[in-house]
Amino acid sequence: MLKPNQAVSAGVSSTDEPAPVALFRAHMPKIDLLSSLPKSKRDVQARFSDKSPEVIALSKQFGKEYFDGSRAYGYGGYRYDGRWLPVARDMIRHFGLEPGMRVLDVGCAKGFLVKDFMLACPGLEAFGLDISEYALRHSPEELTGRLHLGSAVSLPFPDSSFDAVISLNTLHNLERPDVVRAVREIERVSRGKSFIQVDAYETQAQRALFLDWVLTAAFHDYPDQWINLFEEAGYTGDYFWTILE
Ligand SMILES: C[S@@+](CC[C@H](N)C(=O)[O-])C[C@H]1O[C@@H](n2cnc3c(N)ncnc32)[C@H](O)[C@@H]1O
């Protein structure tokens, strides 16, 4: 797999005349597909002072408190507001998705992005999977039959059954061996187009801030360690990091 932002030249050998400009750029796996998502406000100090083993244990159940309880447990209330619509449009453009194609969101929570995929591209067959029964029970009514209860480590879908598979801020909730399994599953069910975004940090200061904030993540690391993991899992898709600053 290519390293972040690594480009490949136009295939001209060192003995050939150099090309005046690169004729094409290779697939660039590191890409920010969430740039149009409004940044959520994070009071790291408040989160840190509210944290306790009890709060963490409850958050990790991904139930009512995590989604719709106070900010100490997670989202602090998660309602549909259309914020994922521009992200859906960016992903549709990036992956070249069209009506009739199939896209899967692994860790879809209440399915808001699944809904917005179908609003942005009527006829696109969008599906989701999440481990939270609470989230799925509180998803938009029109998603009935599109959201599956299950774990990312074992996707209940055949090989190559989706044109694109995405997973946003979900896989870091698993322990490392399960993250590898889940990434392999994403690779297995996709037809080669996928995107994974996970928690990471690039500096010690970012890591310290993250540790104060984090509730549910079980595996998190520096980008090079994530890239090692992706390679270990045979991942060929795109990725990006969620970094607290
Ligand atoms: C931070 S939320 C992200 C939700 C959504 N993708 C987003 O970006 O807003 C993490 C989600 O991962 C889900 N989750 C945690 N462990 C999971 C697992 N093993 N398999 C599938 N989903 C899981 C949680 O229920 C929750 O909906």
Query: What is the overall mean pLDDT for the chain?
Result: 91
Does the CB atom of residue 130 touch ligand 1 within 6 A? yes
Q: Is the dihedral of CA 89, 91, 94, 99 positive or negative?
A: negative
pLDDT at 121: 98
Q: Ligand 1 centroid to 14 CA: how many Å? A: 48
Q: Of all protein residues, whose CA lies closest to atom 10 belonging to ligand 1?
A: 170
Does the CB atom of residue 151 touch ligand 1 within 6 A? yes
Give the Cα separation of 199 and 184 in Å (integer).
18
DSSP state of 190: B
Give the Cα separation of 6 and 28 in Å (integer).
7
Which tens digits make up the pLDDT trace of 53-98? 999 999 999 999 999 999 999 999 999 999 999 999 999 999 999 9
pLDDT at 211: 97
For the entire predicted model, the pTM comes to 0.90
pLDDT at 27: 65
pLDDT (average), residues 224-231:
97
Confidence class of residue 5 from pLDDT cuts 50, 70 and 90?
very low
Q: What residue spans define the domains of the chain?
A: 1-30, 44-242
- The domain defined by 44-242 folds into Rossmann fold (3.40.50)
Does the CB atom of residue 131 touch ligand 1 within 6 A? yes
pLDDT at 187: 98
Backbone φ/ψ region at 222: left (φ over 0), alpha (ψ -120 to 50), beta: beta
Q: Of all protein residues, whose CA lies closest to atom 7 belonging to ligand 1?
A: 168
